[in-house]
Amino acid sequence: MSSQSVAAAGHTGPPKYSPQELERERRATLASPRRSYGVAARALFATMDLLYGRTRSLAKFKVLEIVARVPYQAWEQVAYIALTHRYSRTHLARRIFDRVVESRAQQDNEQWHLLILHELIDERNLRDSLVRHRLIPQLLAFVYYQLSVALYIVRPAWSYRLNADFEDHAEHEYALFVEENAWLAVVAYDGQFAEEYGRYASLGELFTQISLDERHHKNESLDKMAQPRFT
Ligand SMILES: [Fe+2]
Ligand SMILES: [Fe+2]
């Protein structure tokens, strides 16, 4: 899609996969090496392991999704500020607005992930403590937001790189979660958000689709790293 058509056409979000494609792509994720994560990403993952344990769980993924939307919010905010200063340069303003539209679509996609995880946790009456599962994730998200803005202002590629690391980690973690939890294969997803996000014959397929959304987000950030600012 050309940069001029994003805002006009709307951003459709990551592609959806058939059950066969999901299984094939999950195997591809498991077989692929992880990115070489930077210092900030490694610090974030280590903090999450310390606070929520190394075991992959619904509760830990919910924290991950609270943090995941933050860079997209940061980029949207910075792009709007840039628009305020550069709106008179029509072509540049259009390109900046395309970034806003793309950031919003990515935030929306992460929002569905968060809502679905909350729903699955809620249905199972899993413990959701105020401090560990609500306040600390908000604090992590606040710090991550400030870091994303600061990196983006200094050098956008640094912010995109941090996000690519975060998304690569999420892609692999979800794929491993499916691999490690056989029960996911025998529970279907037809919940409150099925209308918007999709119905799945198993939670394994649902989490594989989420993993591939994260791969898509990663690739979008890697593409942006290679581009000059606001093009
Ligand atoms: Fe996500
Ligand atoms: Fe993501």
Model confidence pLDDT, tens digit, residues 195-221? 999 999 999 999 999 999 999 999 999
Tokens representing 126 are: 């899993």
* Centroid of ligand 2 to alpha carbon of 89 (angstroms): 32
Which ligand sits nearest to residue 219's alpha carbon?
Answer: 2
| pLDDT range class, residue 1, cuts 50, 70, 90 | very low
| Out of 127-131, 143-147, 183-187, least confident range | 127-131
More confident position, 221 or 97: 221
How remote is the CA of residue 211 from the centroid of ligand 1, in Å? 8
Residues by chain with Cβ below 5 Å of ion ligand 2? 68, 167, 214, 217
Which ligand lies nearest to the CA atom of residue 209 in the structure? 1
* Closest-CA residue to 104 (of 71, 133, 132, 126): 71
For the chain, what percent of residues have pLDDT higher than 70? 91
- The residue extents of the domains of the chain are 37-225
Looking at the DSSP bridge assignments, the partners of residue 147 are: none
- Tokens 């199972």 label which residue? 124
Q: How confident is the model over 147-156, as a mean pLDDT?
A: 92
| Fold assignment, 37-225 | Ferritin (1.20.1260)
